[in-house]
Structure 1
Amino acid sequence: MIAAEALTGLILAGGEGRRMGGRDKGLEPFEGLPLFAHASKRLEGRVDDILVSANRHQDAYALFGVRVIEDIESGFHGPLMGLYSALRAATTPWLLMLPCDTPLLPEDLVERMSTDIGDHPVAIAFDGERDHPTVALVSTALVEDLGAFLARGERKLGHWFARHDPKRIDFSNEREAFINLNSEEEKQRLELRRADDRRKAP
Structure 2
Amino acid sequence: MNSYHAVGVLLAGGASRRFGEPKALYKLNGKPFYQYSIEALKNTVEDIIIITQTQLIEPLRKQTPYEVLLDDEKYRGLGPLAGIYTAMKRVHSEWYILLPCDTPFIKEDVIKQLLSFIEKYPNKDAVIPIINGKNQPLIAGYHRRSLPTIEKHLSNNELKMGMLFEAVNTLFLDESQFDNLEAFHNINTKADMI
| TM-score interval, smaller chain | 0.7 to 0.9
Give runs of aligned pairs for residues 67-86 of structure 1, distance below 5 A. 67-73=67-73, 76-86=77-87
AA in 2 matched with 1:85: T
Distance (Å, rounded) in 2 between the aligned partners of 1:169 and 1:32? 33
Judged with a 3 Å threshold, the aligned counterparts in structure 2 of structure 1 residues 39 and 145 are, in CA distance, closer, same or farther, namely same
Instruction: Tell me, yes or no, if the aligned pair for 1:11 and 1:39 is still in contact at 8 Å.
Output: yes
The gaps in structure 1 that reach 5 residues or longer are 190-202
Contact 2:39–2:107 under 8 Å retained in 1: no
Question: Partners in 2 of 1:151 and 1:12 — Cα distance?
Answer: 20
Per-residue displacement from partner, 1:117-168 (whole Å, max 9, x unpaired)? 3021110122253221111101123222211111011111121122113112
Of 28, 36, 39, the residue aligned with 1:41 is 39
1:174 corresponds to 2:175? no
Are the equivalent residues in 2 in contact too, given 1:98–1:135 (CA < 8 A)? Answer: yes
Residue 2 of structure 1 deviates from its aligned partner by: 4.0
Give the aligned CA root-mean-square deviation in angstroms: 1.9
Question: 2:76, 2:82 within 8 Å by CA — same for their partners in 1?
Answer: no
Computing the radius of gyration from Cα coordinates, the structure with the larger value is 1
CA distance in 1, matches of 2:15, 2:132: 29
Counterpart residue number, 2:106: 105
Match of 2:24 in 1: 26
SS at match of 1:133: coil
What's the offset of the Cα at 1:24? 1.6
8 Å contact kept, 1:2–1:115: no
User: Residues of 1 paired with 2:148 and 2:33: CA distance?
Assistant: 31
Structure 2 contact 51–87 (Cα < 8 Å) conserved: yes
Match of 1:151 in 2: 155
Q: What are the equivalent positions in structure 2 for 1:86-165 lying under 5 Å apart?
A: 86-117=87-118, 118=121, 119-127=123-131, 129-165=133-169
Taking the aligned partners of 1:61 and 1:154, their CA distance within structure 2 comes to 29
Aligned-pair CA distance for 1:174: 2.7
Give the aligned partner of residue 9 of structure 1: 8
Residues 75, 90 of structure 1: alpha-carbon distance in 2 compared, 3 angstrom cutoff: closer
Q: CA deviation at 1:7?
A: 0.6
Count of aligned pairs between the two proteins: 186
Letter in 2 for 1:11: L
Q: 2:76, 2:5 → 1: CA distance?
A: 31
Percent identity over the alignment? Answer: 27
Quick check: 1:90–1:140 contact (8 Å CA) kept in 2?
no
Deviation at 1:8, TM superposition (A): 0.5
